[in-house]
């Protein structure tokens, strides 16, 4: 039996046939609440596809997993030793897939343009087949989705709380109803310009889909009647519900450590070669390595210890240097606090996870020699292909002079300025030196020079002229040339900028580019060229010696990211990161992206930083010490900790780690909840009676003392009455004594002053 009798075919460049198909299907099949719910639930079969592809597959009338014919052949069938096979005469179901392309991209790892093979250059239609269309079906148990661990109510609540942090960017302290929380998260998912968030009914359906996927009994699906929408709006809203469910499912998958959207079929993962896969120990990504020249040390950085650690290199602090030896391997040297590290790294696969060998040295130069020696010992054939060691330091965009292979003698030298341009010198007649520049292999001879240094300078000048000539017609080359020249302020002149990009402007604007001293006008004219990146314009402002305050005001006009701008102000102008962030108005996330340490983040925005932390006690113990390092007093630190810690246990661990005396801790924690105070007293090892005395001594009210003692006594009424009678002293009032009020033992004057400065009311 043929399941899909009529072939579906959509034009690659015209979306109208697909839209008409979905409109007709929506009008006929999405007219009732029952049909809507059925399709919405059926789309879960293809959760690893995009939301629009899910709806497309549902519109074809299939209800089982789908894959290409080649993928099905890799799935064991019910016939031993044979893979699944598509039935003869079946028509493929078209879905939209990305087309990966190659190209040059910016990289902050090597500071050179990376060459990626994983850039999405477009999309194409690809046919897939459903399990109903197979002549040989899969073996029993083959298509089993990822198992979900059994969750108690408390565990499910914690999963949703962590997933909320993944979706929102900050983790709430408490989640009351997980299903309601999921629905609320669904309303926060955006769908692009012109689209509105999900209504409460549709958001509830998205949350229900996630709860059902986890295996929890969430009752029947919340109802929704689609008849209030036109045909196109129906399937578009269906796509958005599935998209919101996908976002929630990704957050829950992160919290569980299980990919709930993963397919049981063997899928071909699209690997982004511009990133380093989690778990790998090499620093450079494959795309970064492709952009490096062979046999030349190329530097990156300097980065702080935390920045290197975030990039997967522990112990480094300062500049890193990389020497490419093959298409997959390279030598790496990193400055460290006590010397230097050398490593032999690779982007290839293997149990080494990217790190073949490593060691320590006293200096960077010694580390480079040690790395080369290790390469020669382990791979002598590869080491022999690399030219002699290059002593000079390498900068972005151009590398040092080195002897030319197959030259007349060691005095014939070349310097690679670009993949298309090189500067060359050689001994000439009468003791003078000849100079050339090669452009795509063609020689351009320059003047004779009296000395080798003069010859190098003349050849480099020829090469720079060739670069500027090429840059006039290639936007990315123009941007790179201006950025490299601006990175060396001593060699920078405004004429270089005009010569490279001025031809792209009208006469009046070109004159402004050459003569203006107004930084705002300069940025505006550089923008008008259409080829200079924001980071390049920032380098130009630095080369032009404008002040940091002026540059901070121009960040919106530059169009550069706030985090990148803060980092640049710190690295290039020497401005403190927090001062730079304050001048620009950076958020906590932007300061974190700029490389701020946890202590700096707490000093800038303690509330936002603390709210983003997880519930582990070790995390909050570290945060407590960081608060003190950031300049907060003990009273201020405790007030922040008890206000933002997600659990009483984490709050107690943090407070006890920085305050020695329980009475002081209770005095600082005047605004803490009873359960937090109970956890603190238990962490200090106090019994309920000692807890009551300490609370009274710290100045807490009688009601708070009773609540905390009740928490410690597990709400044993008789025991609570006995303890409170011992610790609470009735206070005389008009007409008798008030048993609900207690005389408070005053704490020291120093503690009172500290609490008053922290804003604690007495």
Q: Which two tokens stand for residue 642?
A: 């008890």
Q: How far apart are CA 186 and CA 245, in angstroms?
A: 7
Does the pLDDT of residue 430 top 80, yes or no? yes
Element (H, E) at 148: none
Where exactly are the structural domains of the chain?
Answer: 286-385, 402-471, 489-598, 610-757
The mean pLDDT value of the chain amounts to 81
Share of the chain residues as helix, strand and coil, in percent rounded to the nearest 5: 50, 15, 35
Per-residue DSSP letter, 462: H
Least confident among 115-129, 435-449, 530-544, 574-588: 115-129
Mean pLDDT, rounded, for 185-203:
84
pLDDT at residue 454 in the model:
92
Does the pLDDT of residue 179 top 60, yes or no? yes
SS3 451: coil
Mean pLDDT, rounded, for 548-556:
87
pLDDT at residue 269 in the model:
60
Query: Angle 452-471/475-486 helices, nearest 10 degrees?
Result: 140
Residue with tokens 């929506």: 26
589 burial (CB, 10 Å; 0-12 / 13-18 / 19+) is middle
pLDDT at residue 720 in the model:
84
SS3 178: helix
412 burial (CB, 10 Å; 0-12 / 13-18 / 19+) is middle
pLDDT at residue 741 in the model:
40
Q: Report H helices in 446-573.
A: 452-471, 475-486, 494-501, 507-515, 519-529, 534-543, 548-553, 555-558, 562-573
Residue 308 vs residue 333, higher pLDDT = 333
Does the pLDDT of residue 751 top 50, yes or no? no
Least confident among 281-295, 456-470, 728-742: 728-742
Q: Is the dihedral of CA 306, 310, 314, 317 positive or negative?
A: negative
Confidence of residue 389 (pLDDT cuts 50, 70, 90): very low
Q: Report H helices in 669-716.
A: 674-683, 688-697, 702-712
Q: How far apart are CA 566 and CA 550, in angstroms?
A: 13
Mean pLDDT, rounded, for 565-587:
82
Q: Which two tokens stand for residue 93?
A: 């179901």
Q: How far apart are CA 248 and CA 185, in angstroms?
A: 7
Does the pLDDT of residue 81 top 60, yes or no? yes
| β-bridge pairing 114-130 and 421-427 | unpaired
Query: How many CB atoms lie under 10 A from the CB of residue 613?
Result: 19
CA 370 to chain centre: 34
Per-residue DSSP letter, 728: P
Mean pLDDT, rounded, for 451-479:
78
Query: How many CB atoms lie under 10 A from the CB of residue 383?
Result: 16
Q: How far apart are CA 193 and CA 438, in angstroms?
A: 50
Q: How far apart are CA 646 and CA 435, in angstroms?
A: 69
Least confident among 206-220, 400-414, 563-577: 400-414
Q: For 588-647, how does the pLDDT look when each residue is reduced to its tens digit (9 = 90+)?
A: 777 777 777 777 777 777 777 787 778 888 888 888 888 888 788 888 888 888 888 888
Q: What is the largest CA-CA distance in the chain?
A: 119
Angle at 196 between CA 192 and CA 197, to 5 degrees: 95
Spatial contact of 421 and 437, defined as CB atoms under 8 Å apart? yes
557 burial (CB, 10 Å; 0-12 / 13-18 / 19+) is middle
Residue with tokens 């789908």: 66
pLDDT at residue 435 in the model:
92
Q: How far apart are CA 1 and CA 90, in angstroms?
A: 9
Those residues with Cβ within 8 angstroms of residue 89's Cβ, 6 or more apart along the chain or in another chain: 2
Mean pLDDT, rounded, for 460-474:
73
Those residues with Cβ within 8 angstroms of residue 99's Cβ, 6 or more apart along the chain or in another chain: 120, 121, 122, 123, 124
Spatial contact of 517 and 534, defined as CB atoms under 8 Å apart? no
Residue 178 vs residue 469, higher pLDDT = 178
Confidence of residue 750 (pLDDT cuts 50, 70, 90): very low
Closest CA to 320 of 300, 342, 336, 337: 300
Least confident among 285-294, 321-330, 404-413, 506-515: 404-413
Confidence of residue 476 (pLDDT cuts 50, 70, 90): low
Residue with tokens 């709430």: 172
Q: What is the 3-state secondary structure (H, E, C) of 355-375?
A: EEEEEEECCHHHHHHHHHHHH
Q: Report H helices in 594-743.
A: 598-604, 606-611, 617-629, 634-644, 648-658, 662-668, 674-683, 688-697, 702-712, 717-727
Report the percentage of the chain scoring pLDDT > 70.
87
Alpha-carbon torsion angle 669, 670, 672, 677, nearest 10: 70
SS3 135: strand
Q: How far apart are CA 585 and CA 580, in angstroms?
A: 8
Query: How many CB atoms lie under 10 A from the CB of residue 155?
Result: 13
CA distances 443 to 435, 439, 448, 712, Å, are: 10, 7, 15, 87
CA 89 to chain centre: 47
Q: How far apart are CA 402 and CA 173, in angstroms?
A: 60
Residue with tokens 């020695």: 660
As beta bridge partners, residue 298 has 322
Strands of the 93-105 sheet, one edge to the other: 66-67, 114-130, 93-105
pLDDT at residue 730 in the model:
58
Confidence of residue 390 (pLDDT cuts 50, 70, 90): very low
Residue-by-residue DSSP string for 371-413: HHHHHHHH-HHHHHHS-S---SPPBTTB---EEPTT-SSTT-E
SS3 258: coil
Q: How far apart are CA 577 and CA 564, in angstroms?
A: 11
Q: How far apart are CA 128 and CA 161, in angstroms?
A: 37
Q: How far apart are CA 497 and CA 504, in angstroms?
A: 11
Spatial contact of 206 and 186, defined as CB atoms under 8 Å apart? yes
Does the pLDDT of residue 393 top 60, yes or no? no
Q: How far apart are CA 424 and CA 501, in angstroms?
A: 27
Q: How far apart are CA 218 and CA 208, in angstroms?
A: 7
Q: How far apart are CA 262 and CA 260, in angstroms?
A: 6
Q: How far apart are CA 472 and CA 501, in angstroms?
A: 6
Confidence of residue 755 (pLDDT cuts 50, 70, 90): very low
Query: How many CB atoms lie under 10 A from the CB of residue 555?
Result: 23
Query: Angle 33-42/51-59 helices, nearest 10 degrees?
Result: 120
Residue 109 vs residue 654, higher pLDDT = 654
Does the pLDDT of residue 540 top 60, yes or no? yes
Q: How far apart are CA 650 and CA 620, in angstroms?
A: 6
Does the pLDDT of residue 761 top 50, yes or no? no
Cis peptide leading into 302, omega within 30 of 0? yes
User: How many residues does the structure list for the chain?
Assistant: 762
């Amino acid at each position: 039996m043929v399941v899909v009798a009529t072939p579906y075919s959509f034009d690659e460049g015209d979306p109208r046939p697909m839209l008409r198909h979905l409109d007709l299907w929506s009008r006929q099949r999405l007219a009732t609440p029952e049909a809507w719910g059925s399709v919405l639930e059926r789309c879960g079969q293809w959760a690893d596809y995009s939301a629009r592809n899910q709806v497309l597959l549902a519109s074809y009338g299939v209800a089982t997993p789908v894959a290409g014919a080649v993928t099905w052949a890799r799935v064991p069938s019910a016939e031993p030793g044979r893979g699944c096979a598509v039935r003869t005469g079946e028509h493929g179901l078209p879905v939209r897939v990305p087309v990966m392309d190659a190209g040059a991209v910016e990289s902050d790892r090597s500071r050179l343009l990376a060459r990626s093979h994983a850039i999405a250059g477009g999309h194409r239609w690809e046919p897939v087949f459903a399990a109903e269309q197979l002549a040989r079906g899969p073996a029993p148990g083959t298509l089993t989705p990822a198992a979900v661990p059994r969750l108690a109510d408390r565990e499910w609540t914690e999963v949703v709380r962590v997933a909320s942090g993944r979706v929102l960017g900050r983790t709430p302290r408490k989640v009351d109803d997980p299903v309601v929380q999921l629905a609320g998260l669904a309303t926060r998912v955006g769908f692009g310009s012109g689209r509105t968030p999900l209504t409460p009914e549709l958001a509830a359906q998205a949350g229900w889909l996630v709860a059902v996927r986890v295996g929890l009994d969430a009752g029947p699906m919340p109802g929704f009647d689609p008849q209030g929408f036109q045909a196109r709006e129906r399937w578009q809203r269906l796509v958005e519900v599935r998209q919101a469910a996908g976002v929630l499912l990704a957050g829950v998958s992160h919290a569980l450590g299980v990919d709930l959207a993963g397919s049981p079929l063997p899928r071909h993962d699209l690997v982004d070669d511009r990133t380093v896969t989690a778990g790998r120990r090499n620093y450079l990504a494959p795309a970064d390595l492709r952009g490096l020249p062979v046999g030349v040390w190329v530097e990156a950085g300097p980065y702080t210890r935390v920045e290197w650690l975030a990039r997967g290199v522990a112990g480094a602090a300062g500049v890193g240097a990389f020497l490419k030896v093959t298409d997959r391997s390279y030598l790496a040297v990193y400055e460290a606090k006590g010397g230097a590290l050398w490593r032999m790294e690779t982007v290839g696969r293997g149990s080494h996870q990217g790190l073949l060998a490593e060691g320590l040295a006293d200096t960077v130069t010694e580390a480079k020699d040690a790395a080369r020696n290790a390469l020669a010992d382990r791979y002598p054939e590869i080491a022999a292909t690399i030219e002699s060691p290059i002593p000079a330091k390498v900068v972005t965009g151009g590398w040092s002079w080195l002897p030319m292979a197959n030259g007349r003698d060691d005095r014939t030298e070349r310097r690679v300025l670009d993949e298309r341009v090189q500067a060359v010198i050689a001994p000439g007649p009468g003791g003078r030196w000849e100079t050339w520049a090669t452009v795509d292999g063609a020689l351009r001879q320059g003047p004779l020079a009296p000395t080798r240094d003069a010859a190098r300078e003349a050849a480099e000048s020829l090469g720079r002229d060739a670069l500027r000539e090429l840059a006039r017609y290639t936007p990315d080359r123009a941007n790179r040339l201006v950025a490299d020249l601006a990175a060396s302020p001593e060699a920078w002149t405004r004429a270089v900028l005009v010569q490279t990009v001025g031809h792209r402007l009208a006469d009046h604007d070109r004159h402004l580019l050459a003569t203006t001293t107004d930084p705002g006008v300069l940025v505006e004219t550089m923008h008008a060229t259409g080829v200079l990146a924001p980071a390049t314009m920032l380098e130009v402002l630095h080369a032009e010696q404008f002040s940091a305050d002026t540059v901070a005001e121009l960040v919106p006009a530059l169009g550069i990211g706030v985090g990148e701008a803060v980092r640049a102000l710190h690295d290039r102008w020497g401005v403190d990161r927090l001062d730079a962030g304050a001048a620009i108005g950076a958020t906590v996330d932007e300061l974190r992206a700029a490389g701020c340490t946890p202590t700096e983040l707490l000093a800038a925005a303690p509330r936002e930083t603390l709210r983003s932390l997880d519930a582990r006690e070790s995390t909050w113990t570290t945060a407590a010490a960081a608060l003190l390092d950031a300049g907060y007093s003990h009273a201020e630190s405790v007030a922040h900790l008890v206000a933002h810690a997600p659990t009483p246990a984490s709050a107690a661990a943090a407070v006890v780690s920085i305050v020695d005396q329980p009475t002081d801790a209770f005095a600082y924690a005047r605004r803490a909840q009873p359960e937090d105070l109970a956890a603190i007293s238990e962490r200090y090892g106090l019994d309920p009676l000692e807890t009551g005395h300490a609370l009274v001594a710290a100045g807490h009210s009688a009601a708070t003392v009773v609540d905390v003692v009740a928490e410690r006594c597990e709400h044993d009424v008789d025991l609570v009455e006995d303890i409170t009678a011992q610790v609470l002293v009735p206070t005389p009032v008009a007409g008798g004594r008030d048993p609900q009020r207690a005389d408070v033992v005053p704490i020291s004057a120093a503690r009172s002053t500290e609490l008053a400065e922290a804003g604690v009311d007495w």
